Amino acid sequence: MPNFTVALFFWYLFPVIVIIASNLLVKKTNIDKKYGIKTPDIATPFFFIGLHFVSVGTLGKSFLAYVFLMIFFIGMIVAIMLAYYFHDINYRRYFKILWRIAFLVTLMIYVVLIIGSIILFLKR
C-alpha cells in the first residue's frame, strides 16, 4: 500500500517538470536545429529514474528491469522491421526510433503507475 508522502507527490509531478525543463533547454540552446535532439530525447533518462522511484514508492519493488527488458525486445522488433523494409539497418535511424519508443513506453508506464498508486491510496 502506498503511503502518500511529499516525496511521492514530487514524483507524481516529476514528468511535467522534466518535460517543461527539457523543452526549455531544447528551445534555448537550439539543439533541435543543430543536432535534431528533441524534448523526448532529453526527458527519457529522467523518466527511467522517476519510474524506479514511483514503482518503489507504490508497490515496494522496482519495475526498471522489466522496462529495460521490454525495450530490449522492442529494439529487436524495430531492427527486424528496419531490415525487412529497407534491407539495411541505419544505426542512427535505429537508435533514434528506439529511444523515442523508450520515451513513449516509460511515459505510459509512469502514468499507469501514478493512476494505480492513486487508486490504491483511495481504496484504503
pTM over 0.85: yes
* Cell numbers that stand for 92 in this block: 542512427
Q: Dihedral of CA 9/14/20/24: which sign?
A: positive
- Phi-psi category of residue 76: left, alpha or beta, with phi > 0 → left and psi -120 to 50 → alpha: alpha
Length of the chain (residues): 124
Question: Is-contact 109 63, C-beta < 8 A?
Answer: yes
- In the DSSP assignment, the letter for residue 112 is H
- pLDDT tens digits, 53-69: 988 888 889 989 999 99
- pLDDT tens digits, 93-104: 999 999 999 999
